[in-house]
Amino acid sequence: MNFSLTFPRLLLTGPARLRQLLLPGVLLVSSTVPAVGQVDSLPQISRSLARYSQQRPSEKLFGHLDRPGYVSGETLWFKLYAVDGRSHQPLAASTVAYVEVLDAEQRPVVQTKVALRHATGRGSVVLPATLAAGAYTVRAYTSWMKNVDPEFYFHAPVTIINTQAPLGLPATRPALTFDPQFFPEGGYLVQGLSSKVGFKITDSRGRSVAAEGTIVDQNGQPVGSFRTLRFGLGSFSFTPVSAGAVYKAVIRLANQQTITCPLPAVREQGYGLRLEEAGAEQLRLVVQSRGAALANESVYLLGHTRQQIATAASTSLSQGQAVFIVNKSTLAAGITHFTLFNSQRQPVCERLYFRPPTTTLPLTAHLDKSQYAARRKVTLQLAAGPAPANLSVAVYQLDSLSAAGGPDVTSYLWLTSDLKGTVEQPAYYCGAPTAETAAAADNLMLTQGWSRFRWADVLAPRLVPPTYLPELNGHLVRGRVVNRLTGMPTPGISVYLAAPSRAIQLYNSVSQANGSVQFETADWYGTRQLVAQTNPARDSSYRVDILNPFSEQYPARSGAAVELSERLAASLRRRHVQAQVQQQYFGSRPGRYQLPRIDSLAFYGKPNEQYLLDAYTRFKVMEEVMREYVPGVLVRIRKDGFHFLVPDDNARITQENPLVLLDGVPVFNTNKIMAFDPLKVQKLDVVTKRYFVGPFTYNGIVSYTTYKGDLAGFPLDANVLLQEYEGLQGQRDFYAPRYDTPQQQQSRLPDFRNLLYWNPEVRTAANGETAELTFFTSDQVGRYRVVVQGLSQNGLAGSASLTFEVKPAL
């Protein structure tokens, strides 16, 4: 996996060097040529961004949910796609994804971990039957993604209704409030500089609002007007005449309500960056400045798309103005950030431009019919070529909870994954480009622009090490060592982590300067009882805390409120009956997790000696067992009690105790293991050579295994941390009945499924060969939606959607 970027070598000087710095597609319009010393900042900025991109490669997750609405108690199924944040090609780096369901207050109500294999993962969660009705959010991320703003986690809104409890809706609906926001182009308003101002108007339920309005000065005189276009967005040109003036927007809503809000403050001096269309193939970026010290300053323009440099140019302002021309063909699809730097290499303006993707996954879906009777076979044919593709398919009933649909992979990867907040109907911006969609996209870029990084971090002499490492080989269990008395983090302490089991695994770590420790586990599925401890003979004054593996950072966003009316009563009653019937007749089948088979070999491999104690006469005292049956371990008694000695293959004996384990848990006091009931031990492994585990060296290993691998009541030290810990979830098999025979079709077992089909693993061949899937309708009549999402090996994303109808009789 190579995240490096390559740039041309800069060997020229003077004007020739400047021409080389201007990458193809950038035309600098300027009356002066800056000196070489001034231009040096441009490649330095470029190199800093390249270094940052190499050391902080971005990662994205997209989640395909089986449907957008649920009833409490139903199962939510999902498929995850992991991609390189720059190329959108499948990225098989992280091996663990974290999935949460958040309520309206962004409190997690469900949390789970899913294994990622070959850049995809799949799983399911049963929504608690006690969940209150409301708007929820499903979010997903990796450990590496926790280093960036939580806005860039995957988020998908879902509606959950609890049909077994009163909805708790207020008797009177609270009055709507409105949130108008204004965003000057480039970042801020400057006295005397003309700029475009983007605006967005939403209500307290998060919905866009249509409006028009007037800009007035401090005397109430109108100086401009505006109106929204699509999705409550719009823009207008504005030139503030005075830094001391206070401008306000008087907004008139469709219901004739009027609201007033101030515009951002006007600066006396500064910069402006205006983006304009310069024909069908070019963009014009106009730089303006106000202030005597800025009139002839050197400035630098850098454009990058997902941290890949697209344009780089520099010039000196002439009377406070300069113009850059950029060919659109040099810009990659997606969002390009144009950043303007001053002569001190400080970012002073930023402007975003969106270019919709021109190439997507050619995904087609066809049904053999448009209408079906109940309990009849449906044949779905899928084709996606020419590159092999990985697809996921959901078929669900259209009703009041699922009419809106969910996010699609194309608009998510190319648009919403690089923006903050909620984007209404993102697929609209990624369709066939028109003058209307271009204007709407430009308004979106003005109002919801965002960057995955801070330029201060990029331009710093040294990058700060990331807090969270990528989980390349398994889940990282993170903890902290603190002093028991002071609570202060403590470095240099050896920590041992184990989960009692018959599959013996041991993890150890040494605490860092901030007291942190981490353990790279492998194949941890299901709920585990963790045992974390220090060596009490050496470090009895310290405590180990296991940290929450889920992100505790949440974006400042509010989901749309759930609106329920009497007209939805019939639909909700039907969903209630569906859920009850399915739970009654089919509830046991989808509820079972199946854990994968894991390697049962102990971490130390095949032992030099192994003793199955049931093959010998059983003694009731462990000392007799060790002396009579285990010649590979010498038992010695000193002033402080028992000690073990393990001769190596050359009969050499060291005086230090070997590592003693019980079901994988270290036992540092040999007296305690000698007092343990040997009848609870099934086998004993002995490793007679020095063994290295991470930074630690052991003079042999003596490993006891109980019959159930659960410590069998062994008394652990009082300072040991015992904590129940949820590992990776197993897999549930999606169950749906089949009606291949007349007898099955006539079954009296009711079938009220509203989710007819869920298949997270559909693969198409490289030659575009059609994949054929079959499933059966249920007893529920109505309209159904088929949703297909997918990603090819070369990073092409695509989705398809179609509908069909189920009628009582045909």
**pLDDT (tens digit per residue) in 272-300:** 999 999 988 999 999 999 988 788 899 99
Residue 568 pLDDT grade (very low, low, confident, very high; cuts 50, 70, 90) = low
Q: Decide if 311 contacts 328 (C-beta within 8 A).
A: no
DSSP string of 163-218, one letter each residue: TTS-----SSPPPP-EEEEEEETBTSEETT--EEEEEEEEETTS-B--EEEEEE-T
Q: What is the pLDDT of residue 10?
A: 29
Taking 50 as the threshold, does the pLDDT of residue 12 lie above it?
Answer: no
Query: In the block, which residue shows the tokens 């009490």?
Result: 536
CA–CA distance, 601 with 565 (Å, rounded to integer): 59
CA–CA distance, 426 with 406 (Å, rounded to integer): 11
Q: What is the pLDDT of residue 421?
A: 83
Residue 206 pLDDT grade (very low, low, confident, very high; cuts 50, 70, 90) = confident
Centroid of chain to Cα 758: 22
Question: Is there a cis peptide before residue 386, judged by omega within 30 degrees of 0?
Answer: yes
Q: What is the pLDDT of residue 585?
A: 60
Task: Say whether 432 sits in a helix, a strand or coil.
Answer: coil
Geometric angle at alpha carbon 697, from 693 and 698, rounded to 5°: 100
- The mean of the pLDDT values for the chain is 87
Q: What is the pLDDT of residue 405?
A: 83
Q: Which residue blocks in 563-613 are alpha helix, DSSP H?
A: 569-586
CA–CA distance, 379 with 23 (Å, rounded to integer): 52
pTM over 0.85: yes
Strands (E), 417-541: 476-483, 494-498, 507-510, 516-520, 527-533
Geometric angle at alpha carbon 292, from 289 and 297, rounded to 5°: 60
Residue 29 pLDDT grade (very low, low, confident, very high; cuts 50, 70, 90) = very low
Residue 735 pLDDT grade (very low, low, confident, very high; cuts 50, 70, 90) = confident
Residues 318-377: tens digit of each pLDDT: 989 999 999 999 999 999 999 999 998 899 999 999 999 989 999 999 999 999 999 999
Q: Decide if 201 contacts 417 (C-beta within 8 A).
A: no
Mean pLDDT confidence for 711-739: 92
Q: Decide if 738 contacts 776 (C-beta within 8 A).
A: yes
Query: In the block, which residue shows the tokens 């505790």?
Result: 552
CA–CA distance, 289 with 270 (Å, rounded to integer): 6
CA–CA distance, 57 with 302 (Å, rounded to integer): 19
Residue 82 pLDDT grade (very low, low, confident, very high; cuts 50, 70, 90) = very high
Task: Say whether 430 sits in a helix, a strand or coil.
Answer: helix
List the structure tokens of 763. 């693969």
CA–CA distance, 208 with 750 (Å, rounded to integer): 42
**330 CB neighbour count, 10 Å cutoff:** 16
Query: In the block, which residue shows the tokens 């597609």?
Result: 25
CA–CA distance, 23 with 12 (Å, rounded to integer): 14
Taking 60 as the threshold, does the pLDDT of residue 692 lie above it?
Answer: yes
CA–CA distance, 411 with 419 (Å, rounded to integer): 11
Q: Decide if 352 contacts 338 (C-beta within 8 A).
A: yes
Write a three-state SS string for 282-342: EEEEEEEEECHHHCCCEEEEEEEECCEEEEEEEEECCCCEEEEEEEHHHCCCEEEEEEEEC
CA–CA distance, 546 with 498 (Å, rounded to integer): 12
Residue 718 pLDDT grade (very low, low, confident, very high; cuts 50, 70, 90) = confident
CA–CA distance, 469 with 56 (Å, rounded to integer): 11
Query: In the block, which residue shows the tokens 């104690």?
Result: 613
Write a three-state SS string for 651-718: CCCCCCCCEEEECCEECCCHHHHHCCCHHHEEEEEEEEEEEEECCEEEEEEEEEEECCCCHHHCCCCC
Mean pLDDT confidence for 197-203: 93
Centroid of chain to Cα 732: 22
Q: What is the DSSP letter of 634?
A: E
CA–CA distance, 523 with 366 (Å, rounded to integer): 39
Taking 80 as the threshold, does the pLDDT of residue 796 lie above it?
Answer: yes
Beta bridge partners of 609: 686
pLDDT: which is higher, 511 or 751? 511
Residue 387 pLDDT grade (very low, low, confident, very high; cuts 50, 70, 90) = confident
Q: What is the pLDDT of residue 294?
A: 85
Q: Decide if 506 contacts 519 (C-beta within 8 A).
A: no
Residues 69-78: tens digit of each pLDDT: 998 888 999 9
Q: Which of 2-11, 182-191, 341-350, 563-572 comes out lowest in average pLDDT?
A: 2-11
Among residues of the chain, what percentage have pLDDT more than 90? 66
Geometric angle at alpha carbon 608, from 607 and 611, rounded to 5°: 75
DSSP string of 719-773, one letter each residue: T-EEEEEE-B--BPPP------SHHHHT--S----SEEEEEEEEEE-TT-PPEEE
Q: Which residues neighbour 418 within 8 Å (Cβ) at sequence distance 6 or greater? A: 152, 306, 334, 335, 450, 452
Distances (CA, A) of 734 to 119, 378, 679, 757, 759: 21, 17, 43, 8, 8
The total number of residues written for the chain in this structure: 810
Taking 50 as the threshold, does the pLDDT of residue 37 lie above it?
Answer: no
CA–CA distance, 668 with 98 (Å, rounded to integer): 35
CA–CA distance, 166 with 168 (Å, rounded to integer): 5
Q: What is the pLDDT of residue 379?
A: 97
Q: Which residues neighbour 552 within 8 Å (Cβ) at sequence distance 6 or greater? A: none
Identity of the amino acid at 143: S
Beta bridge partners of 275: 285
Lay out the sheet containing 334-341: strands in order across. 308-316, 298-305, 334-341, 347-355
CA–CA distance, 396 with 71 (Å, rounded to integer): 13
